[in-house]
């Protein structure tokens, strides 16, 4: 993760390795998205870059999509995760759960994983533990196909937030 914001022009001038290293974390532990995006530059804006990255994921195989979804951490757990995920979950208060809340999240996470075989994913920026828990309960009712699509939509939101934190236009 980069601490200084970069201009879109700087992103456009990067070689493939620098581009992949700089943007590889945008999609959690899936630098292949950035690597495939590089050949589509130049990008006119953050929105343009984001749209291309979404297109790369949409055009990927089902196995690649599932690997992308499975690369995300389980919400409200104490597992090791990427720095960006730690910050995002902390911002939603998921690092300050009571014992009962933590156990409730663990049960929901397990029920979700048992049904879908991947972790619950939600763009938690601007959310709190109550809205997240309600979304988990709601989305447990979806079909596996619908939930994979919803998980990808949430990943796209996360990627957009991360791009906005990294790049200025």
Reported pTM: 0.87
* Beta-ladder partners of 167: 6
Nearest 5 degrees, angle CA 72-CA 24-CA 149? Answer: 45
Overall residue count recorded for the chain in this entry: 169
* Beta-ladder partners of 7: 168
The DSSP code for 92 is T
Q: Which residues are marked as active site?
A: 72
> Tokens 């939101």 map to which residue?
157
107 found inside a domain:
yes
What pLDDT score does 81 carry? 44
Pull the structure tokens for residue 106: 């663990």
Domain CATH code at residue 159: 1.10.3330.10
For residues 141-151, average pLDDT: 97
For residues 104-124, average pLDDT: 94
Q: How many structural domains compose the chain?
A: 1
159 found inside a domain:
yes
For residues 21-32, average pLDDT: 95
Rounded Cα gap, residues 109 and 100, in angstroms = 14
Residue 70: CB atoms within 10 Å: 16
1 found inside a domain:
no
Nearest 5 degrees, angle CA 144-CA 27-CA 38? Answer: 125
33 found inside a domain:
yes
Domain that holds residue 25: 6-168
Per-residue model confidence as pLDDT tens digits over 71-113: 987 776 555 445 655 566 666 667 778 889 889 989 999 999 9
């Amino acid at each position: 993760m980069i601490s200084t914001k970069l201009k879109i022009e700087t992103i456009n001038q990067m070689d493939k390795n620098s581009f992949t290293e700089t943007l590889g974390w945008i999609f959690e532990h899936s630098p292949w998205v950035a690597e495939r995006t590089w050949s589509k530059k130049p990008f006119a804006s953050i929105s343009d870059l984001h749209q291309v990255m979404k297109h790369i994921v949409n055009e990927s195989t089902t196995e690649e999509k599932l690997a992308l979804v499975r690369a995300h951490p389980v919400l409200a757990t104490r597992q090791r995760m990427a720095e960006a995920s730690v910050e995002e979950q902390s911002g939603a208060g998921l690092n300050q759960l009571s014992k009962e809340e933590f156990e409730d999240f663990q049960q929901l996470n397990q029920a979700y994983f048992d049904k879908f075989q991947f972790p619950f994913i939600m763009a938690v920026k601007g959310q709190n533990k109550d809205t997240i828990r309600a979304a988990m309960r709601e989305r447990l009712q979806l079909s596996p196909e619908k939930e994979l699509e919803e998980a990808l939509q949430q990943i796209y939101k996360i990627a957009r937030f991360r791009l906005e934190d990294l790049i200025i236009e």
